[in-house]
Chains A and B, each alone.
Chain A
Amino acid sequence: MIEALLVMALGAVILGAALGYAAVRFRVEGDPLVEKIDAILPQTQCGQCGFPGCKPYAQAIAKGEAEINQCPPGGDEGIHKLADLLGREYKPLSAEHGIEKPKSVAVIDEAACIGCTLCIQACPVDAIVGAAKQMHTVIATQCTGCELCIAPCPVDCIRMEGIAETVDSWKWKYPVVALRRVA
């Protein structure tokens, strides 16, 4: 009887020590979960999720403070990926945070621009170039389509333009399954 208790106690001590050692020895630096969530987020930095950028949203998700369905640019697919990563249940995109739109870029009507630099300050990825009282323009390849520059513009000269499909950006579509044709 006493031997059995001792053996069990000894086992518990050894296992506890091993676990404690492992916790110290194999401690993961930083928070890889935030990095993984951030990698799924589209990096639009649009703030539609209610956080000031993708990283803060990722941190909030990791802490369990935010739902996974608050990112309209990431869309349905993004939610599915987050659900898979976190083992949470899939939820449709929350309507209060916006709707999924086709990818677009901001375009400045250069004739109307008064050079106020407000949009430059608003752009989260520094994709607008210009100087005070000089015309501004958007670097289309860097623009994430976050729409944050539209509201600050005092003369409403910024609009969103869908990205036109070219021969190079065109992709093969999902094959149409024609099962019901005969039925």
Chain B
Amino acid sequence: MIAQLFRFKGGIKPNSHKDESTTQPIKLAPLPPRLVVPLRQSARAMARCIVEPGQDVLKGQVIAVAEGPLCTAVHAPTSGTVRAIEPQPIPHPSGLPAPSVVIEPDGEERWVERFPFDIATATPQQARDYLRDCGIVGLGGAGFPSHVKLGPGEKGIQTLILNGAECEPWITCDDRLMRERAAQILAGAAMMRHITGARRILVGIEDNKPQAIEAMRQAARELGEKEIGVVAVPTRYPAGGEKQLIRVLTGIEIPYGKLGTHFGVQCFNVGSAHAVYRAIAHGEPLVSRIVTLSGNFERPGNFEVAIGTPIRDLLPLAVPRADTNRYIMGGPMMGVGLQSLDVPVIKATNCVLAGSPTLFPAPPPEMPCIRCGECAKACPAELQPFELYWYSRAKIFGKAQEYSLFDCIECGCCSYVCPSRIPLVDYFRFAKAEIWAREKEKAAADTARERYEFRLAREEREKQEKAAKLAAKTAAGREKAAAALAEAQKPARTPEEEAKHALIAAALERAKAQKEQAHPENVSDLTPEQQAEITAIEARRAEIREQAKPHLRQDD
């Protein structure tokens, strides 16, 4: 079915050390006395806890619900009692604690009621919500929520890729899973294909795992499907990097900032497909996973481990050798050095690697870069790591971004080949973290500026309002006085006043006229003497009026 394979540039071929842990079948790890289930199962989101200390929980019971688009639910890995909800150290390079639910198992493994999910009648959205509530995340190491990746995106998904490459040395959990549960993996893949509406499924497996390839091919034959292809890809780290595997199988290169769905492909770890199968066919949320114990162990192997099992409780299963001085979660190329053995297995824990001074010697001192270009030859993202190093080291972050710093997938190939033993990836991680922190700081400063300017504006407005009010208050009294004065001095009147005064004047005029017309009856037939007397009196009155005029007007 596959016409051709593509190749990605760069990459390295370290000794794979796979055989040490693949001889034994997957064994069930015993329950520890205490489970620590972090609420933060993926890098971006923390679930909201819905249980309380002292509460009894059943295996598979939801203990924290998804909040936000990138969050998935968290479930009790076994039945028991919630002892505490508190910050506990989690496997993270910082070694810092994060909120976790501490559960004391009762040893009875009582499940909640489980119902298979009817995928045939459900809409894709319902299926994705169901997977979110089953806590399904990518089991390859990054822990990205699967329901998000199953979304249709812009163009929809035509090709579903199952990642069984497992390119990191020592890790074999996917290898064993494919050998032992191939049919379940493909059943899960078929369910995901149904949800996404993809046309075909490609399973990419590095050619150093012939048994796994055979098992998967066998399962595909038994399924009788033509649209499932199991492809052996050349063994070269990081062939199992999502972008690299997509490139090898389809020829599509997905740049930084773009998702597979932009190109119609999406890639899932085989373990995730298995988890999807368990969730849909059996109603089991993700409460356990396969973990490889390898490296400096007497009896390396693969174990099915309950999420939340402290690493310390796992170690006796494989018996660390006496000279073991460190433990790494994940592989030697991208794993996280554990600062405490109390950290639990989380959904992204694919491997616990024991190291010794002979296996992983202390890094030799860093020498100056001689620009030999080995790193650029090894870089699968086709970057120029020595240029990035130069700018990251000098903290010229803008330039580092110009040289595509964020396209770096931190695979470690450049550090691996560097003859000057420069921890290149450390510089890139530092530069990325610094750039992110600065962006956050800048956003915070912008908010502060906005709020400060708003406050200044508000204070200014309040001041003006106050002043206006005060002015209005005093202005009222002052205006009255001013108006009276103006009347006395006959200042120019406003049109309104003019009209008013005109009305009043007209009224007075009318009254006067009426008065004049309506002569009093008792003065009609008067003698000249009487008339003269009246006239004299009127004159006197007029005189008095004239004298009193200013006073009267003031009362007006």
Chain A interface (Cβ < 8 Å from any Cβ of B): 38, 41-45, 53-55, 124-127, 142, 144, 165-167, 170-175, 177-179, 181-182
Contact = CB atoms under 8 A, between A and B. Distances in A.
Given A166-B96, A166-B98, A179-B366, A171 B436 contact: yes
Contact of B426 (A126, A175, A179): A175
B426 A172 contact: yes
Which 10 residue pairs are nearest across A and B when measured between Cβ atoms?
A: A171-B433, A170-B94, A43-B445, A43-B448, A172-B429, A125-B451, A175-B426, A172-B433, A43-B449, A172-B430
A171 B434 CA distance: 7
A53 B452 contact: yes
Contacts of B429: 172
A124 B447 contact: no
Interface in B424-460: 426-427, 429-430, 432-434, 436-437, 441, 444-449, 451-456
Given A43-B444, A171-B430, A171-B437, 7 more contacts: A55-B452, A125-B448, A126-B451, A126-B455, A167-B90, A171-B436, A175-B430
B40 A167 contact: yes
Which of A41, A42, A142, A167: most chain B CB closer than 10 A?
A167
Interface of B: 40, 90, 92-94, 96-98, 363, 365-366, 423, 426-427, 429-430, 432-434, 436-437, 441, 444-449, 451-456
A172 B405 CA distance: 15
B454 A126 contact: yes
A55 B450 CA distance: 11
A127 B450 CA distance: 12
Contacts of B366: 175, 177-179
A126 B447 CA distance: 11
B96 A45 contact: no
Contacts of A175: 366, 423, 426-427, 430
- Interface majority SS (helix, strand, loop, mixed), chain A: loop
Contacts of B453: 55
Contact of B452 (A43, A167, A174, A179): A43
A55 B453 CA distance: 9
B448 A173 contact: no
Contacts of B363: 178
28 contacts: A38-B449, A42-B441, A43-B444, A43-B448, A43-B452, A44-B448, A54-B452, A55-B449, A125-B455, A126-B455, A144-B448, A165-B94, A165-B96, A166-B98, A167-B40, A167-B92, A167-B94, A167-B97, A170-B93, A170-B96, A171-B430, A171-B437, A175-B423, A175-B426, A175-B427, A175-B430, A178-B366, A182-B365
B455 A172 contact: no
A45 B427 contact: no
A127 B456 CA distance: 14
B451 to A, nearest CB: 4
Nearest to A42: B445
A172 B365 contact: no
Nearest to B440: A169
A104 B429 CA distance: 25
Contacts of B456: 53
Nearest to A125: B451
Nearest to A145: B448
Nearest to B456: A53
A165 B95 CA distance: 11
Nearest to B424: A175
Contacts of A173: 430
A175 B365 CA distance: 12
A165 B93 CA distance: 13
A166 B38 CA distance: 14
B455 A124 contact: yes
A74 B261 CA distance: 42
A142 B451 contact: yes
